[in-house]
Amino acid sequence: MTTRPMIACHECDLLQRELPLPPGGVLRCRRCNAELSRSRPDSVDRALAFTLSAMVLFVVGNAFPMVGLDVNGDLVQTTLLGAARVLYDDGMWPLAGLVLATTFVMPLLQMATMIYLLVPLRFGRLPYRFDVVFRLLQLARPWGMTEVLILGMLVALVKLAHIASVVPGTALWTFGALMVLLAAASGAFDPREFWERTRAAQAAGAETVDSVTPRAPTAMGSGLLTCHTCEQLVKSSTHSDEAACPRCGARLHARKPNSIGRTWAFLIAAMVLYVPANALPVMNTSSLFGSEKDTILSGVVYLWTSGSWPLAVVVFIASIAVPMLKIIALMFLVISTQFGSAWSPQQRSRIYRVVELVGRWSMLDIYVITILVALVQFKGLATIQAGPAAIAFGSVVVLTMFAALAFDPRLIWDRAESNHVQAAR
């Protein structure tokens, strides 16, 4: 009888055997309920088809205007790159760089790496240095925010409709379709099938752990390390801090190095910047009737009083509630872990998953500001410029995402595992 390969949960480190899945089935950790794997039939063909289609739409979307504003026959239009350029010309280069990275560079890198990896596999060949390219793909995935950009465009359109006639551009519909295709490509891509197809090119003599009898319930307790990039189990050595994954080349660690300290550093910086992000003006509007400075909260009030209360609720949740709750949740996780709390690790693991899931949506207000600044440029009539709070707010979003990435959820379970071992004695 063939022994099923072993896998370790990326959230609680529990060792378990990988089971065959029916089409569309999901394998979850029996301890923390994290998703371990998902059955994706025809993964390579479907992911490649979706990605190639997305690349075509990406080119079209960046070549045509997203939206236009018509004031007395004077039409102002902007592309995504043009909007970032306006921010740069206004001296807001950190904000321009953040918008460019999350809506252009990272989605492009995600699509390019998937095409590079999947086209050769489709024809039975191995891509050159597929291990490095796979790591680039995993790096780009959390930072591509096309879906948040689409929602930001919709909020901006509602605000612009009260100023002048809005003319939806070709890119608006193109980016909507692009969002769907990118999500479909990401959902269709199966890393396990990818590594099965490249197994013959793995480092010679790499140790397998499929037949190892675990000495403890967890990978670390059994002398094994889990690769964060490709989830390969590797036998640890005495120099584990210098070890590299034999499959993808990523650095291996029993736990993320200095996870608590780095998470605190990002959190403290985010908390400091959260105050000016909400107190200072995020947008400056100048017109024939004077100038007005808007904060994030005043923007929510404007949407509410203008009758767009559903969007007001969305902006309030994404731009005010989510950053604050994310900071509070991460502080709770870090403090409880640092003091060795054994309270409900299942619940704390769920909190961590939610924090990871919602973090990117705080970028909503940044994209709204980007569209407004690019379009409302009627010299002598009205202009909008990004305020200092926009940079502070963008920094808060990035810092909280870095904090979530720095935190190691397996530390939550280490205390529970220690208590279990002591009880067994």
Domains within the chain, CATH numbers bracketed: 1-38+203-246 (no CATH), 40-144+163-200 (no CATH), 256-425 (1.20.140)
> Which of 141-150, 177-186, 194-203 bottoms out in mean pLDDT, i.e. has the lowest?
194-203
Q: How far apart are CA 99 and CA 104, in angstroms?
A: 8
Q: Which amino acid is at 84?
A: A
Distances (CA, A) of 40 to 45, 124, 188, 395: 11, 19, 6, 36
Residue 423's pLDDT band (cuts 50, 70, 90)? very low
Could you read off the pLDDT of 234-286 as tens digits, one per residue?
887 655 556 788 888 888 888 888 899 999 999 999 999 999 988 888 887 76
Query: Comparing 416 with 97, which gets the higher pLDDT?
Result: 97
Could you read off the pLDDT of 323-362 as tens digits, one per residue?
889 999 999 999 998 888 778 888 898 999 888 888 888 8
Could you read off the pLDDT of 378-408 as tens digits, one per residue?
665 667 788 888 899 999 999 999 999 999 8
Q: What is the reported pTM?
A: 0.86
Stretch 302-328: mean pLDDT? 82
What is the predicted pLDDT for the residue at 380? 53
CB 245 within 8 A of CB 237: no
Could you read off the pLDDT of 29-79 as tens digits, one per residue?
888 888 888 888 888 889 999 999 999 999 999 999 888 887 776 777 888
What is the predicted pLDDT for the residue at 241? 57
CB 133 within 8 A of CB 117: yes
Could you read off the pLDDT of 200-221 as tens digits, one per residue?
544 444 444 555 555 667 777 7
What is the predicted pLDDT for the residue at 206? 44
Give the residues across from 8 on adjacent strands.
15
Residue 424's pLDDT band (cuts 50, 70, 90)? very low
Per residue, the 3-state secondary structure of the chain, as one string, reads: CCCCCEEECCCCCEEEECCCCCCCCEEECCCCCCEEEECCCCHHHHHHHHHHHHHHHHHHHHHCCCEEEEECCEEEEECHHHHHHHHHHCCCHHHHHHHHHHHHHHHHHHHHHHHHHHHHHHCCCCCCCHHHHHHHHHHHHHHCCHHHHHHHHHHHHHHHCCCCEEEECHHHHHHHHHHHHHHHHHHHCCHHHHHHHCHHHCCCCCCCCCCCCCCCCECCCCCEEECCCCCCEEECCCCHHHCECCCCCCECCCCCCCHHHHHHHHHHHHHHHHHHHHHCCCEEEEECCEEEEECHHHHHHHHHHCCCHHHHHHHHHHHHHHHHHHHHHHHHHHHHHHCCCCCCHHHHHHHHHHHHHHHHHHHHHHHHHHHHHHHCEECCCEEEEECHHHHHHHHHHHHHHHHHHHCCCHHHHHHHHHHHHHHHC
What is the predicted pLDDT for the residue at 66? 87
Give the residues across from 7 on adjacent strands.
16
- pLDDT winner (highest mean) among 99-108, 124-133, 184-193, 290-299: 99-108
Q: How far apart are CA 306 and CA 216, in angstroms?
A: 60
